[in-house]
Amino acid sequence: MSKPVALVTGGTSGIGLGIARRLIDRGCEVVLSARGQDRLDPLVAELGAIGVAADVATEEGRAAIVAEVRRLGRLDWLVNNAGAGGGTAGLDVDAERAQRVLEINFYSHVALTHELWPLLRESPRARVIVVSSSLGTYASSGSITYGASKAALTSWGRALQTAARPLGIEVTMVNPGPVVTTTFPHHELLQHRWKGKLVIGVDRCVNDVMRRVDRGGGEVWSHWFYRLPAIAQAIAPGTYDRFLV
């Protein structure tokens, strides 16, 4: 029997790379996709993975990724992890940048999952991991575009959980707060007296994800604190808007 096959988008750093390493340790054939060939090549050589240098937010990029997975003939793990920051805070982001963020953080995952769904349906135990953000569960005036893109992804991922479960496909939603990665080093938060305690490392986040996956899907929060604003906005949106945004 051939190895289980896993696809990890945005797999050259941070949470994506951490999950990819765990899947390789579990005996999976891992396909890593990322835009940068220079970062992809050394990781492919180190991990023994398959690399696809492609922009998942474009039709051409997704077609290249899908073609490589189909060549392998199966898909057991789909890790929707590719993402982009939202640029500057508030409304100081142009419409073109906003569209790009939404295409990367939301639409690319929807389109890629749709293309690969038939292969997932054929797997005896398919798993989908959707890496969103705690900022997708509550509103923040300092992260309007990024938060909107992650809110769309979170809503879609939760609905996918419900739709996929009767088919035997487990979907795990990941809602990280600040996680230290090369893209998001969080230097300012780490220098703060108490906010720095809410920042976690990649290994802890990945550990939480894999434990949740092994228990059968569900939802992962990287720190309990980041559930509070989501609950506050749901229960008392007026108060939240006045004091916490």
Q: How far apart (Å, rounded) are the C-alpha atoms in residues 206 and 103?
A: 25
Q: Which class for 42: exposed (0-12), middle (13-18), buried (19 or more C-beta within 10 A)?
A: exposed
Q: What residues are paired with 238 via a beta bridge?
A: none
> What number of CA atoms fall less than 13 Å from residue 110's CA on the CB side?
15
Name the active-site residue from 107, 138, 146, 240: 146
Across the chain, which has 245 residues, the per-10-residue mean pLDDT values are 90 91 96 92 95 96 97 97 72 78 94 97 96 79 83 95 95 80 55 56 84 89 69 69 59
Q: Which residue has the tokens 């989908």?
A: 128
Number of domains in the chain: 1
Task: Using CA atoms of 109, 37, 11, 196 in order, give the dihedral in degrees to the nearest 10.
Answer: -110
CA nearest 44: which of 60, 56, 33, 57? 33
Q: Is 146 a catalytic residue?
A: yes
Alpha-carbon 18 to chain mean position: 12
Which phi and psi angles does 174 have, rounded to 5°?
A: -120, 120
Q: Which residue has the tokens 């992260």?
A: 143
Domain harbouring 66, CATH code: 3.40.50.720
Degrees (nearest 5) of the Cα angle 30, 111, 145? 105
> What number of CA atoms fall less than 13 Å from residue 22's CA on the CB side?
21
Beta strands in the chain (DSSP E): 5-9, 29-34, 50-53, 77-80, 127-131, 170-175, 218-221
Q: What is the pTM of this model?
A: 0.88
Q: How far apart (Å, rounded) are the C-alpha atoms in residues 52 and 5?
A: 14
Domain span at residue 229?
5-243
pLDDT of 216 reads 86
CA nearest 136: which of 123, 152, 158? 152
pLDDT of 89 reads 56
CA nearest 81: which of 120, 113, 117, 59? 113
